[in-house]
Structure 1
């Protein structure tokens, strides 16, 4: 395992250096693009008869449980780090729109995307049960906070729009995991799909996550307030993430929601009244570094995981159709209410298009797809998910800055 970690970290450092020195794309997109090119090169060599390098890379990657690594490892750090810098007072102003996007928006998108996937897959001869298509709708619907946070900051998006997108992304993945878990249980026949069961699961996961986040964040605040030693306070914040997420898993509460709530509490209440200036600087520096390193590692892994994805050419057409539908559904669930209630909700002109194009999908969708039990359905849905994620990060991620600039340059009537 140590050898594997050493190889991945060393490769990530090299790719980050190459991107910074020569390509100069945003770090996460740049390293993923180079990793994809590297994967394509190994596949090309294998096609020419030199398969040793690709076989070695596949053997290394097969040792990584991507779902467990992200969902039970990296995600807790990344969500806490993202929530740590969100202004809670400003977030409260947009609580209704963010709450709608993170709950009803996910449910509506799950149903619409699931039904479309069922139709398109059947049209191209892929027999995937409708319930599995709904599972796909649940895993591809949430915008990924990991992808959104890093890319939007470099796109110079207005603070209010960035806060809405980030706020939605931080909360909707927790909701989506609950919906995904419910639908996957029904698809595999392990659990019945009833309103009572769904309500109990949502209350336990989401409600438990909020409660746990408040408790863990509150304890961290009390501990930080009682001392003035930045080393210990940084260690406390680290304990919040590791201990809090482990406790959430043990209690069957939503770990992602718990980390967001705890991060908001530490980043706002503790920052204002429990930290000295030195502690604030050191805490911010520590978590910014953790965020950057884990993000970079994650996107390199996404680029390399293509070696393990079973591609079929027909699925590229299905993926293309679903990308278009995904954007249409997002615009409908987000854009239409914004345009109708723009004056009351405080959205600026062009917000609908920015929020639609800025709704990136990332590693969480891939991780959830990998959680589907092995079989033809998993292979098909994993391939489609991967193609959509690549489009989202490489195309939407690289052009969101231009979309923001072009729309904001227009008069705001």
Structure 2
């Protein structure tokens, strides 16, 4: 039944399950060029143990790498020597080098199950979580106060680096310093563009460990995020020109317009999808489980959509993340917000680990092309021109931008020193086409060397330089209502002074934008309007829900005064009126009343659980409260109520006091007339008048004392 032909090298065995043929024992003669595939075991045979490396080998290796990296990070943070002198990114790169050496020695580099570092893997899988987590952290007033200086570094500074490094290398090439390596102008400009990309992954990894002040951190990190649009746009222009036969004026004009379309298109897509996220989360109050999925999925969708139209996915993701942080987070619950926060942090940390391990693995390869002069001169030019652009642009920003806080010399030095290169430069170098860029392998080797030099040498010495220069360190402070109220007060005062003086600067336009935002945008995108998203209310939520363990919150109708607990109607109130409100940020601060009773009161409260046979726990609550030491000492329970109810209560007391005083005066006049001739009745009336007057006086003194105590407490 065996059939074969010279056209097909495969031997077909029909009805294999019934007739198992052992080819090796048959007398069939097959030419050597033919390949015979057979299986001597039945395909549906049940076995106890199977080896399925072809199916799960790749996933097993990835999981093993991550677990090893996690173990290395744990050891790193428990080692005082490494933690003090060596950045974590350097340790991960060394781990990647060891893994690459192991794969090289065992000849497993070409194994299809070993994951490979590609540009698609980096830009579409590993980079978005890092950018999204960074975008959420950019929602800060300090970042927007320095946005002009950041754009100056990101756009003008990047262009200056490209057109300083490129011509310098081209002149050296014309002088014959690079030997037999002949490079054209477009090749040099392409390489100078990709090597000018300050990597946000490397900067984030180093500067988070250094913990510099927020202004310096946002200047360096914001530049590394926003300059990628310029780098990628210029990279596409030069590679297109290198592949074209001729370059005309129309192509040059199109390339110049690419700066605007790449950045502007990504910004528009990010803002639009961020607004869509906010609108959808307005209606997820009853299905909170999908809120983290909606927010994260729309952010990634913004990145992919921008890349689909060849816009800047990084700018799109940053815009979408900031928009979600400004509007959508007020629509989701506190638990969903916490889930999104730690999910993005976890994904960002995992992506960091994978990127640095891959950077170490790609160093072990056979196709490196090395030229010492080219590598050394490129490194020197990158460092010198980085310092030159930072100092010159900072001088312009300090002089022309009317900065309230000047960037001092120490911070400028640290900014220039923090121009680290990383995976973005390497990914762009890996994307070079050797058909059009003849020296692509030399550029890849030089890029890897500069990445190692900036991360190991400059990154490792950043901490000592910060200590030596005595750069201001960021001290994390707890959220305080006083700070936010004071900041809001100062902003309003500054805007008023500018309006009075007739000079409209940043504060004036910030107030205008804030009013438009509160009047229109927040009312559309936020559930409940702008009142639920003010800075003071957000700070209040942070104070109340600190450490995710907020105080117990009751309805004002339940806890208020002693009479409530003695009222029979109160004890017969329905269960839903006595239930402790759920710990969610959607609870209105006007409807809720915060209490901080004595511990004995808390110990005696028995909250009804599911399946409890006694649904009436209000009596137990009243009994526990009446027996508490706090109640016995004070005689009443003070609560914080909203302003409207407090004013109405004070007005009622005042009206009762005026009415009682009027009646007392009328009674006194009437008794005086009736008892003018009756001394005994006059004495009784006077005694009654004294008793009533004393009672009213005690009530008045008590109210005044409580008012003074409340004023002192507020002060």
Contact 2:62 2:115 in 1 (8 A): no
Report deviation, 1:166.
Answer: 1.1
2:345 to 273, 279, 288: 288
- Aligned partner of residue 311 in structure 1, secondary structure: coil
1:87 to 131, 139, 142: 139
After superposition, where does 1:105-116 map in structure 2 within 5 Å?
A: 105-116=157-168
| Number of residue pairs the alignment of both structures matches | 399
Q: 1:190 to 1:214 in 2, by over 3 A?
A: farther
Match of 1:330 in 2: 386
Report deviation, 1:381.
Answer: 0.7
| 1:35 equivalenced with 2:124 (yes/no) | no
Contact 1:366 1:382 in 2 (8 A): yes
Q: 1:386 to 1:324 in 2, by over 3 A?
A: same
2:411 to 333, 348, 351: 351
Report deviation, 1:385.
Answer: 0.8
2:278 to 190, 206, 221: 221
- Give the Cα separation in 2 of the matches to 1:100 and 1:163: 13
TM-score normalized with structure 2 length: 0.53
After superposition, where does 1:7-406 map in structure 2 within 5 Å?
A: 7-21=61-75, 23-24=82-83, 25-40=86-101, 51=105, 53=106, 55-60=107-112, 64=116, 66-120=118-172, 122-125=176-179, 126-189=181-244, 192=247, 194-228=251-285, 231-271=289-329, 273-308=330-365, 310-314=367-371, 316-339=372-395, 341-342=397-398, 344-345=402-403, 346-375=406-435, 376-406=438-468
* Structure 2 residue ranges without an equivalent (≥5): 1-54, 77-81, 473-715
- Give the Cα separation in 2 of the matches to 1:309 and 1:298: 21
Report deviation, 1:255.
Answer: 1.1
- Give the Cα separation in 2 of the matches to 1:296 and 1:103: 29
Q: 1:408 to 1:10 in 2, by over 3 A?
A: same
Deviation per CA, 1:212-261: give whole Å up to 9, x if none. Answer: 01011111122233324554221112212332222222222221111111
Contact 1:116 1:322 in 2 (8 A): no
Looking at secondary structure, tell me which structure has more helix per residue.
Answer: 1
Greater mean alpha carbon deviation, residues 109-118 or residues 171-180: 109-118
- Aligned partner of residue 56 in structure 1, secondary structure: coil
Contact 1:80 1:263 in 2 (8 A): yes
Contact 2:92 2:353 in 1 (8 A): yes
Contact 2:135 2:322 in 1 (8 A): yes
- Give the Cα separation in 2 of the matches to 1:283 and 1:85: 13
Contact 1:12 1:31 in 2 (8 A): no
Contact 1:58 1:307 in 2 (8 A): no
Report deviation, 1:402.
Answer: 1.8
Report deviation, 1:159.
Answer: 1.2
Report deviation, 1:340.
Answer: 5.7
* Structure 1 residue ranges without an equivalent (≥5): 44-50
- Aligned partner of residue 211 in structure 2, secondary structure: coil
Higher relative contact order, chain-length normalized (CA < 8 Å, sep 6+): 1
- Give the Cα separation in 2 of the matches to 1:239 and 1:353: 39
